[in-house]
Structure 1
């Protein structure tokens, strides 16, 4: 965390780009936890007073078993001069196209053998309920969250997984996917303060004068206003990082939505609007969301539409926010797919999108 070198690592990586579909691999898809699922799980854990623990699997992809016959050339220096020997892989390696899928299959098989049921709404969520003990396990590649009402059950599950895979017990949940998790008697707060400061440092905005709001009122950006940027990569990198920041910052969602429309050919006004967002972040880098420890498990949804907002396409904007009790768990701003002929039509499309998210 302080920038010093903790250890040096070397890894043997296969040249997955040379694999042939249908010969060396077939399916490659592997699910990861939806961020909405992460927020809902933490919200329920806060309301129910569940224990929250975290695990990290070491070299996760090396655990997967290969179904195909895959051969790999030896790394330089391992074979004698003039030899053309190859090695056959029995287990997956980093770099193989099917590595992530084979790891998830191995993990889910082990969890099902331990009595867990896989959720149908999010395949990375596993649930087990027996003798009054309720345990939820959420997987994001090699990061695992354990939530349950019985600490002994959580520890037994850790021991079971430790016998199956080499893993690191990180104790109580503090930091997950760049999200800082802090728990108090009021609830669980989620923020990305460290990540927000990294964005400001990367853009050279750590010493800038803060702004009280992320976007100017009635700001209207179009595709052809202003001069084209000489180097669009810095703008794309900045907006891409801001998109990830909206995981815990609903207040940035609309501004980032507007900026992300101009990734192809960004212009000077678009960059100035992005700088305005950075100035706002400078004012509140630790801003996040609170998942209260009191309240109900009732879902509430709010939605709105901005009719014909986009000047380039005249498409309307849908915006919604969904709360579980008092905790915000899902929010989005998105341009509608078709042009609405009236504000009423735009509002109905917005409600339809929100209902799809709720169900």
Structure 2
């Protein structure tokens, strides 16, 4: 495993501020990696997005620093041949078998000076790279991919901020960190079944209960039978598995909350009380699939709560459980989609 203690990020006037942002935020918030920004002279720079940034160090200081990863953002100056002053640092780090991560225009800088001639790499486009770097001889190694990792150089296109961050995190095994992995899964979708966004509206046939925790447990394996029977009697076409919707449930045994138990159906019909059938509107939520027995659902909720806290999301008091697959004889095969509503 490659060691990553110190990451230096090169900043310059006109640098594309979004390109290193995700990588920097992930490492800063969820790991103990030390992030140091530097410019050629250590003086403030203005990014392409007009952010005035005060770097922490100068190139002179970086040349004597202990650096494990150097991130080179893109930007028009890079494509136009500027910032060659940083190349001795690039060469020095490669000789020490450290890692260079270049994105967008920074790949052109590396190509202009032969660093990509003999390694797998990518950029914004193969032909564009040839135009920006007339001396470039690495066309045979070019890969049409958002991000490419070679032993010591990571490259990415300017639209591949997420792939760039993932390549860095993967290269240094940082995704073994559960908090970083969960947070990052919302950007790249790598955490199967974990999502953040608004659901689609759907038609829902259900019965509403006012209950507490003990009363809720009495409804397991009984209430849904009645829902199926009533849906058939109402001549409704069922189009999905059972769902439990919680309003105001806080996990405390004595708290009385509202619980809707029902089924998605293909249309809305008038039904007799106490049954209801309506179209539920889009639902903004964070969700995760729980695989296994329901007595371990608390673990999945805990992961979601942790991720929401890290992301600064506030709950709205409405939660859904969608039973995508359930097997009372083999509950370890259950698949439950948990959706926690957010503001």
Normalised by the length of structure 2, the TM-score is: 0.24
Which structure carries more relative contact order (alpha carbon 8 Å, separation 6+)? 1
Larger Rg: 2
